[in-house]
Amino acid sequence: MRLDKKGDGVSSNFTNKCRQHGSLFTVVRKSQEDRFAFIAEWYDPNAALLRRYQLLYYPKDGSVEMFDLKNHRSFLRRTKYDDLHLEDLFVGNKINVFSRHLNLVDYGDQYTSRKLGSRKERTLGMIKPDAINRMGAILEMIYSTGLSITKMKMVLLSRKEAMDFYAEHQSKFFFSNLIQFMTSGPVVAMEILGDNAVSAWRKLLGPTDTSKARSEAPETIRAQYGTDGTKNAAHGSDSVASAARELEFFFPSSGGRGPANTAKLTDCTCCIIKPHAVSEGLAGTIVSAISGAGFEISAMQMFNMERANAEEFYEVYKGVVAEYNSMVVELCSGSCIALEIRGTDAPRTFREFCGPADPEIARHLRPKTLRALLGKNKIQNAVHCTDLPEDGILEVQYFFKILDG
């Protein structure tokens, strides 16, 4: 399927823009205008192929252009795209261009490398069992410092998994207590991205020993939510090398799954923190609100939805609500976070907690509901929640059993 400005299928206007351009390397930058070049990859599920493009970004007007590297032809003529920003452009990042998820794998020229090459790093952040009930507040602290979360998964480590992860501490006196603690409840593993992310995250964590953190860095995570040197709320990689190894443990790039999610798939309902809310840094606020209302978040995971998945998930709304296409576009416009919510009569009570789908109506009729407080419009209304009680388990299964299967 060709990209479309609206993200909803083939566009004749777009197709007309995709004419032959000759070798992409003959593209010449106008002297009076900056443009940045990247090599981007996209996995085409229909053809089971990894496709590679040159992506050009023009900061003057926020326009993008794409060239098919294999076929040496234009794929997207220069088009204004407001949802992509200069700060999104760095090697290793995943971006969304007209509902297509692209991985930026390299700089396209020396000019771009020199101008935009930065100290962006990825590190592992892990919320430990003792701080799970404060994970919303911790997420808020992460976003408030300018760091971003690019992967997230709640898991319950087995004894073997915990021992493998902490193998370097096997000979230390605290190893047995550490393993017992780390397997006592769920943890949330996160890939954290940012400038000098390893040191920035460790600074936000504070000293390993909680008492020291309270005296030396009282605003840090461990000072506020930790108990001692082991039950200290969260973990952070101590180097770039450690980060790479620890991220591979939880989020393997080799095709493996890593530790299993914690979904119970019983007596539950589904919540999705929508991409616009994630990109606006509202995930922590939403998680805190859900927990504060007495609901149990028994599973949580970040997903990047392909259009086909979004269409399948929202299929029940096709032909029923006028906003179906826009709902699909929003759901696959960036990272979303799926949650399994449990509580008394969870589908009904959680739907009431979220409020009417239209935030404007919610603000008039139920001003204290989640959508009234955080929603922008009927499409970007902060969260999706299961509408029908009988669909609660089915929607949770779609994310935590099918997509993460």
Nearest to 97 by CA among 155, 197, 14: 14
Task: Please give the angle made by the CA atoms of 229, 289 and 315, to the nearest 5 degrees.
Answer: 115
Positive or negative, the Cα torsion across 238, 239, 240, 242?
Answer: negative
Q: What's the Cα-to-Cα distance from 257 to each of 149, 155, 254, 308, rounded to whole Å?
A: 19, 11, 9, 22
DSSP 174-240: THHHHHHHHTSS-EEEEEEEEETHHHHHHHHH--SSHHHHHHH-TTSHHHHH--SSSS-SEEE-SSH
* Residues carrying an active site annotation: 235
Produce one character per residue of 298-310: b if its CB has 16 or more CB atoms within 10 Å, e if not.
bbbbbbbbbbebb
Q: How many CA atoms lie within 13 A of 231 on its CB side?
A: 13
Helix H or strand E encompassing 42: strand 36-44
Task: Please give the angle made by the CA atoms of 334, 129 and 294, to the nearest 5 degrees.
Answer: 70
CB-based contact 75:97 (threshold 8 Å): no
In angstroms, rounded to a whole number, what is the distance separating the alpha carbons of residues 348 and 370?
15
Q: Euclidean distance between the first and final Cα of the chain, in Å?
A: 25
Residue that has been written with the tokens 């939510």 in this structure: 225
If one counts every other C-beta atom within 10 angstroms of the C-beta of residue 114, the result is 9
DSSP 331-376: HTSSEEEEEEEESTTHHHHHHHHH--SSHHHHHHH-TTSHHHHH--
Which letter does DSSP use for residue 172 in this model? Answer: S
In angstroms, rounded to a whole number, what is the distance separating the alpha carbons of residues 116 and 339?
35
If one counts every other C-beta atom within 10 angstroms of the C-beta of residue 163, the result is 17
CB-based contact 395:384 (threshold 8 Å): no
Write the CB contacts of 3 (distance below 8 Å, at least 6 apart in sequence).
14, 75, 76, 97, 98, 99, 100
